[in-house]
């Protein structure tokens, strides 16, 4: 039995009503005792702590979407599971977002995450994902800027002409590897 002393009363534990609240009894009196708990959050790995605290000064300095997501989460003092739940994702899926396991991200999920972080969704995007937002217009503009037909553009990149048509119409997503090739060889 737990005892607590206060003045001339000897308080005895009566009941625990919740994790933080207990009731004590003494000489016909009941008294609540609220226990305050403080949970300190810290990065699970040293690299997370370095990323959150030292590596970048602002969101604009961060090159990848994965690193932006991790940095903003740390800045907002959130756990991965909290972000995942808010965005309607499994924690493992969101972990993959932060680990850079994907090249592109569903726009509806990024919009929810951006809402949670209080930033425009566009700010979460790296160069490749910004390109994907306007891929059709971007591919067409690059091709025309270099005076290339769809056929010649396809030959230059080593893809079929139908792939170029699908990119320009938005029916197919250009892979990151192909985007990097485009940036190096044509732009």
Helices then strands, each counted (H, E), the chain: 10, 4
Is position 141 within any domain?
yes
Which pLDDT does position 21 carry in this prediction? 77
60 and 108 assigned to the same domain: yes
Mean pLDDT of all residues in the chain?
Answer: 86
Contact yes or no for 51/65 (Cβ under 8 A): no
Is position 41 within any domain?
no
The b-or-e profile of 67-90 (16+ CB within 10 A means b, else e) is bbbbbbbbeeebebeebbeebebe
Q: Which range marks the domain in which residue 158 is found?
A: 134-185
Ranges of the chain with pLDDT below 70: 1-9, 36-54, 187
pTM, full prediction: 0.67
Q: How do residues 132-183 score in pLDDT, each as one tens digit?
A: 999 999 999 999 999 999 999 999 999 999 999 999 999 999 999 999 999 9
């Amino acid at each position: 039995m737990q005892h607590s002393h206060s003045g001339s009363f000897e308080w005895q534990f009566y009941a625990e009503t919740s994790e933080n609240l207990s009731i004590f009894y003494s000489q016909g009196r009941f008294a609540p005792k609220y226990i305050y708990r403080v949970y300190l959050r810290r990065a699970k790995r040293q690299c997370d702590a370095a990323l959150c605290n030292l590596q970048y000064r602002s969101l604009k300095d961060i090159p990848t979407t994965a690193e932006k997501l991790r940095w903003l989460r740390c800045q907002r003092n959130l756990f991965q599971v909290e972000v995942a739940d808010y965005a309607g994702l499994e924690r493992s899926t969101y972990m993959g977002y932060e680990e850079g396991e994907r090249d592109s991200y569903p726009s509806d999920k990024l919009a929810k995450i951006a809402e949670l972080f209080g930033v425009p969704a566009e700010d979460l995007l790296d160069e490749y994902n910004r390109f994907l937002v306007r891929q059709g217009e971007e591919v067409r503009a690059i091709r025309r800027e270099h005076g290339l037909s769809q056929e010649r553009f396809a030959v230059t990149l080593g893809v079929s002409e139908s792939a170029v048509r699908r990119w320009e119409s938005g029916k197919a997503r250009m892979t990151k590897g192909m985007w990097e090739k485009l940036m190096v060889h044509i732009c």
